[in-house]
Amino acid sequence: MATDNVEVGTTQGDDLADQPVLARLHFGREDAERDVTEGLLLRGGFLPNAAYRAALSGRKMLIIGRKGSGKSAICMRLMSDVGHGSGKVLVTPDEAAGEEIRRFELQGLPGDSAKALIWRYVFAVHAARHLVGHAKGAHDKKPDSVKVLGRFLKQNGEGQDGGGRLVERLAQGARGLQGSLSLEAFGVKASVGLAQSPSEGARAARQLEIVEQGVARAFADLGCDGVAHPPLLLMVDQLEQVWSAEPDSNSMVIGLLLAAKHVASLYGRSVRFLLFLRADIYDSLSFGEGDKFHGDELRIAWTEQALRDLALARAQASVGAWLTEEQLWKELFPQTVGGEEITTYLFRRCLPRPRDAIQFLNACVEKAWLEQERDLITELDVVQAGRQFSEWKLKDLTSEYLVAHPFLRNLFPLFQNTGYVVTRAALARRFEAASATLHHDFPAYVNVLTLSGVIDVLHSVGLLGVRRGNDVVFSGDDGLPVQPHETEFQVHPCFRAALGATSAVDLRRFEPQLMDARIASGNFSPGTSGISSLNRDDRLLMQLARSCHSILAQVGRAVALTQDVRDEITVQVNRVLDDVNRIPPGAASSVGVDVDDYLLRTARYLTTLAAQLRAGGLEETTGIDDVVRRLDEEERRLRRSAGGSYGSSGDSSGY
Does 333 fall in a domain? Answer: yes
pTM over 0.95: no
Give the SS3 label for residue 455: helix
The dihedral sign for the CA sequence 321, 322, 325, 331: negative
Distance of CA 392 to the CA centre of its chain: 12
In a shared domain, residues 224 and 282 = yes
Does 121 fall in a domain? Answer: yes
What confidence score (pLDDT) does residue 562 get?
Answer: 87
Confidence of residue 196 (pLDDT cuts 50, 70, 90): low
Q: Which of 78-87, 201-210, 225-234, 609-618 shows the lowest per-residue confidence on average (mean pLDDT)?
A: 78-87
**Cα distance between residue 285 and residue 279, in whole Å:** 10
In a shared domain, residues 245 and 337 = no
Range 600-614 average pLDDT: 89
Task: Give the domain-ending residue among 299, 321, 349.
Answer: 299
Task: Give the domain-ending residue among 354, 378, 404.
Answer: 404
What confidence score (pLDDT) does residue 533 get?
Answer: 54
Range 57-78 average pLDDT: 87
Higher per-residue pLDDT: 55 or 431: 431
Confidence of residue 35 (pLDDT cuts 50, 70, 90): low
What confidence score (pLDDT) does residue 9 get?
Answer: 35
500 torsion bin: left (phi>0), alpha (psi -120 to 50), beta (else)? left
* Pairing status of strand 336-337 against strand 271-278: unpaired
In a shared domain, residues 274 and 317 = no
Does 509 fall in a domain? Answer: no
What confidence score (pLDDT) does residue 18 get?
Answer: 67
Task: Looking at mean pLDDT, say which of 161-170, 419-428, 639-648 comes out highest.
Answer: 419-428
Give one DSSP letter per residue of 540-565, joined into a string. HHHHHHHHHHHHHHHHHH-TTS-HHH
Does 317 fall in a domain? Answer: yes
Does 525 fall in a domain? Answer: no
pLDDT for residue 592 is more than 80 = no
Task: Give the domain-ending residue among 269, 299, 329.
Answer: 299
pLDDT for residue 649 is more than 60 = no
pLDDT for residue 441 is more than 70 = yes
**Angle made by CA atoms 261, 214, 258, in degrees to the nearest 5:** 15
**Cα distance between residue 71 and residue 397, in whole Å:** 18
What confidence score (pLDDT) does residue 79 get?
Answer: 83
In a shared domain, residues 458 and 589 = no
Q: Which of 107-121, 179-193, 199-213, 567-581 shows the lowest per-residue confidence on average (mean pLDDT)?
A: 179-193
Give the SS3 label for residue 99: helix
Does 467 fall in a domain? Answer: yes
pLDDT for residue 6 is more than 70 = no
**Residues of the chain with pLDDT > 90: what percent?**
39
Q: Which domain holds residue 481?
A: 419-499
In a shared domain, residues 328 and 290 = no
Does 412 fall in a domain? Answer: no
What confidence score (pLDDT) does residue 25 get?
Answer: 92
Q: Note whether 509 and 572 are within 8 A (CB).
A: yes
Range 485-508 average pLDDT: 92
In a shared domain, residues 244 and 280 = yes
> What proportions of the chain, in percent to the nearest 5, are helix, strand and coil?
60, 5, 35
pLDDT digits (tens, 9 = 90+) for 84-125: 555 888 888 887 888 888 888 888 888 889 889 999 998 999
Give Rg (Cα) of the chain. Answer: 34
In a shared domain, residues 136 and 273 = yes
What confidence score (pLDDT) does residue 414 get?
Answer: 94
In a shared domain, residues 599 and 488 = no
142 torsion bin: left (phi>0), alpha (psi -120 to 50), beta (else)? beta
Does 22 fall in a domain? Answer: yes
pLDDT for residue 225 is more than 80 = no
In a shared domain, residues 108 and 224 = yes
For 353, residues 6+ apart whose C-beta sits below 8 A from its C-beta are 65, 66, 67, 68, 69, 70, 300, 302
Q: Note whether 584 and 519 are within 8 A (CB).
A: yes
Q: What is the number of domains present in the chain?
A: 4
pLDDT for residue 514 is more than 70 = no
In a shared domain, residues 270 and 160 = yes
Range 518-540 average pLDDT: 56
pLDDT digits (tens, 9 = 90+) for 539-573: 888 999 999 999 999 999 988 888 889 999 999 99
What confidence score (pLDDT) does residue 648 get?
Answer: 41
In a shared domain, residues 292 and 273 = yes
In a shared domain, residues 449 and 556 = no
Q: Which of 221-225, 390-394, 430-434 shows the lowest per-residue confidence on average (mean pLDDT)?
A: 221-225
**Helices marked H in 39-159 — which ranges?**
50-57, 71-80, 95-103, 111-138, 144-155
What confidence score (pLDDT) does residue 515 get?
Answer: 47
Confidence of residue 226 (pLDDT cuts 50, 70, 90): low
Q: Note whether 403 and 280 are within 8 A (CB).
A: no
